[in-house]
Amino acid sequence: MSFSVDKALKSKVVLLGGEEELLLRRSVKELLAQVAPEGDDFDLMTLDADAASPEEWFAAAGTAPFLAERRTCVVRRLLRCDEPERLALKALPDYALLILVADDEGGDELKRRKQQTLRAKWQKHVTAASGYSHFFESDGKSLPSLLRKEAQDLGAALTPGAASLLAEMVGGSLSRGLGELEKLAVYAEPGTQISEKVVREVVVPSREWNIFRLVECVVAGDVAGAFQQLQILVVSPTKADDAAHGSVLPMMHRQLRFMWQARILVEAKASVDNVPDWVKSQLPDRPSILKEPPYRLGKLMSFARQISFATLTNCLQILSDADAKLKGMLPASSAMETLEQTLLLLTRELKPAAVA
């Protein structure tokens, strides 16, 4: 369901959020253009969730309007407040419009899981008060075509391959993709198509892409390439421990789980576009390879054709041992050396690429 300004304005409370920061900003701007077209300060207030209490939000939205028909209060960074029950949404007067914005503040996998849980709590609270909620999530499947259309609007042209590569390098985010697209349009020569080579030269890749490239190098036996990606992800040896727990190991584990699911499809002689029900029953709901965008599925399936379940089991054990070493449960050197040794062990395990 797409975002509807009309439906949102019929409610006293509106909850907006999601990964697509650009679309989120646009939606808030569209709402405010309706209720305060001239930016009327008398009947519009913006608060931060960690700088004001839910009671203060209620008071700001519940104050009688002065010049406008409605009193509007925008609360940003909503997920910094973990007590939805303190906000008596049902008691808001009819002229009130409370816009709750659950900004995506990033963070490691643990922080993101907490944000998802808290977002669900807020959504339940808003729904119980007959409020309107909408979340702008990334859609990797349609992203390449959207980027090509946006490129045309900028007077540029993306080749299909460049569009897929750009979508992959920005982690499937339209917001990030549009930001990088503006740079590409300036960098590319007028009248020429933006190629994959130009995308690789200009675009700043997401951490997710760097992890995928790291796994790609490991599978290919490219130790130098894997170490280069590791340096990019860690930034500094003194931050190796934080990077290992916050992104490197969790995301590598995620990629190996996807490769395991891809191997199930290979063994069942099934394609990602036509998966029998008995095969789907063997795949987890989260994370599910079937929800991955096409540009990534092709590579995962290619990896899976080279690797056996036994090899993947050994790789998962190597990651488990690395986690234990970083936590002091097994003897180890520094965090950076542990990560480098882990990559060497994974490369040695995957290098033969012999499927049993």
- Write down the pLDDT at residue 108: 67
286 pLDDT band (50/70/90 cuts)?
confident
* Helix (H) or strand (E) run with residue 46 in it: strand 44-48
- What was the pLDDT predicted at 354? 37
pLDDT of residue 49: 94
**335 vs 87: CA distance, rounded Å:** 44
- Strands of the sheet containing 132-135, edge to edge, are 44-48, 71-76, 96-102, 13-17, 132-135
For residues 42 and 39, which has the higher predicted lDDT (pLDDT)?
Answer: 42
pTM of the model: 0.68
Of 344 and 189, the structure prediction assigns the larger pLDDT to 344
Bigger pLDDT: 5 vs 273: 5
Percent of the chain with pLDDT over 70: 97
The predicted model gives 36-48 an average pLDDT of: 80
CATH superfamily of 5-135: P-loop containing nucleotide triphosphate hydrolases (3.40.50.300)
Q: Which residues of 248-274 are buried (b: 16+ CB within 10 A; e: fewer)?
A: bbbbbbbbbbbbbbbbbbbeeeeebee
pLDDT (0 to 100) of residue 2: 81
How many angstroms separate the Cα of 34 from the Cα of each of 4, 38, 73, 97, 102? 12, 9, 14, 12, 21
Please list the residues that pair with 44 across neighbouring strands.
72
Query: Residue 36 — pLDDT band, cuts 50, 70, 90?
Result: confident
pLDDT surpassing 70 at residue 355? no
Distances (CA, A) of 68 to 35, 41, 44: 8, 10, 9
What per-residue confidence (pLDDT) applies to 233?
86
Question: How much is the mean pLDDT over the chain?
Answer: 88
**Could you tell me the residue ranges of all domains in the chain?**
5-135, 143-202, 207-350
For residue 15, pLDDT over 70 is answered with yes
CATH number for the domain whose boundaries are 143-202: 1.10.8.60
pLDDT per position as a tens digit, 58-115: 999 999 988 888 999 999 999 999 999 999 999 999 999 999 999 988 776 677 788 8
Burial-class residue 39 by CB neighbours within 10 Å (0-12, 13-18, 19+): exposed
Residue 8 has pLDDT above 60, yes or no: yes
Instruction: Note every long-range contact of 341-348, with CB atoms under 8 Å and residues 24 or more positions apart, other chains counting.
Output: 342/318, 343/214, 343/218, 343/223, 343/226, 343/227, 343/230, 344/223, 345/318, 346/218, 346/315, 346/318, 346/319, 347/218, 347/221, 347/223, 347/226
**Distance of alpha carbon 268 from the chain centroid:** 30
Q: What radius of gyration, in Å, describes the C-alpha atoms of the chain?
A: 24
Strands 132-135 vs 13-17: parallel, antiparallel or unpaired: parallel
Q: What is the CATH number of domain 207-350?
A: 1.20.272.10
The predicted pLDDT at position 175 comes to: 87
pLDDT confidence of 325, banded at 50, 70, 90? very high
User: At residue 353, does pLDDT exceed 50?
Assistant: no
Residues 195-234: pLDDT tens digits?
999 999 999 888 888 888 888 888 888 889 999 999 888 8
